[in-house]
Amino acid sequence: MSERMPLRLRKQQRAREQIVEAAFELFDERGFAAVTVTDIAERAEVGRTTFFRYFGDKQEVVFSDEQAIVEALSERHRALPPVTDLAGALAQLRVVATELCRELTADGEHYRTHERLLRENPELRDRAARKFARLCQILRANLLERGASAEVAALAPQLAMACFAAGNALADGDPEVLPGAVDAAFARLGELGAVDGAGAVGGAGGVEEL
């Protein structure tokens, strides 16, 4: 970023970028599993040890930029006005989700590669879930600080993630479709006037042996 950054830090950032770039090139060429950390280190012209100094494990490099995005989002969310009810919290989170979509799809090509990697590697999907769970936790804490009850704070971020996940599933890796699909999912939440468990199910005629 800054030109007036200590040389040491600039070198670090450069090394980091080289590693990410090398890794994505290789993953794109051969897929995640067929690339070894040694391969990445060689192409990035760093030592194998150095790779692990920058990234905790091989998967981490796939999510290297999500980290910053998520932190920026939770930062902005923290600054929002107080909320107490579920609907209000979700209205805020709808905006957060919209921003998240925009950030993630900003570089369409990168997003597509990223999605392809997730599609082809279950263990990367797992790892992505960790990021989202972490985001949920942060948002939950923020909501608590801003007046929400424990129940609302626990539920709202999970619901927002659900909308995001549903949109993601429907978009199926297409960065053009994602934002609309996610927003539509939020809009659908309005249809939930009365979700009465036993009543509705009984009324629908099934599951009598509860």
Partner DNA sequence: TTCGAAGTGGTACTCAGTACCGTACCGGAC
Partner DNA sequence: GTCCGGTACGGTACTGAGTACCACTTCGAA
Residues in contact with DNA by the rule CB under 7 A: 6-9, 11-12, 15, 35-38, 45-50, 52-54, 56-59
Rounded to whole angstroms, what are the CA distances from 73 to 23, 104, 116, 119, 130?
26, 12, 24, 25, 16
Rounded to whole angstroms, what are the CA distances from 26 to 62, 124, 132?
12, 16, 26
Q: List phi, psi (to 5°) of 207.
A: 50, 60
Two structure tokens written together for 88? 């209000």
CB of 75 to its own copies, least distance (A): 13
CB of 61 to DNA, least distance (A): 9
133 binds its own copies (CB under 8 A): yes
CB of 29 to DNA, least distance (A): 14
Question: Are 107 and 43 a contacting pair, CB within 8 Å?
Answer: no
56 binds its own copies (CB under 8 A): no
Residue 158 touches which member of its own copies, DNA, none, C-beta under 5-8 Å by kind: its own copies
Residues lying near its own copies in the complex (CB under 8 A): 76, 79-81, 83, 85-88, 90-92, 94-95, 98, 122-123, 125-127, 129-130, 133, 136, 140, 150-152, 154-155, 158-159, 161-163, 165-167, 169-170, 183-201, 204-207, 210
